Amino acid sequence: MPGALHLPLSRLRAGTALPETAQGKPVVVICRSGNRSRTATRILAARGVKAGDVAGGMTAWAGAGLPVTVDRGTSGPIA
């Protein structure tokens, strides 16, 4: 997802805060299939973060023809 920040679920479970650029803002959570992002959304909601989950994850995102990029901003695979 263009502009996405990577924050592994394991770090959220460990209590890692959102990056400063995301604090105090609504966030959209996505993973490859949608399972981990649902869990992450619940964790964030419990912390008072307004968070939404992309149903179906990156697989559904790409299937809808939406862009998939890597850190350099170029097209990338879904891992």
Task: Examine residue 74 and state whether it is found in any structural domain, yes or no.
Answer: no
DSSP code, position 17: P
Cα distance between residue 50 and residue 58, in whole Å: 20
70 within domain boundaries: no
Q: Which helix (DSSP H) or strand (DSSP E) does residue 51 occupy? A: strand 51-53
- Do the domain assignments include residue 49? yes
Q: Is residue 50 in a domain? A: yes
Model pTM score: 0.82
CATH of the domain at 58: 3.40.250.10
Tell me the pLDDT tens digit for each residue of 5-45: 889 999 999 999 999 988 999 999 999 898 999 999 999 99
Q: Which helix (H) or strand (E) holds 27?
A: strand 27-29
Domain interval for residue 48: 9-15+22-63
**In a domain? residue 41:** yes
Residue 55 lies in a domain: yes
Q: In the chain, how many domains are there?
A: 1
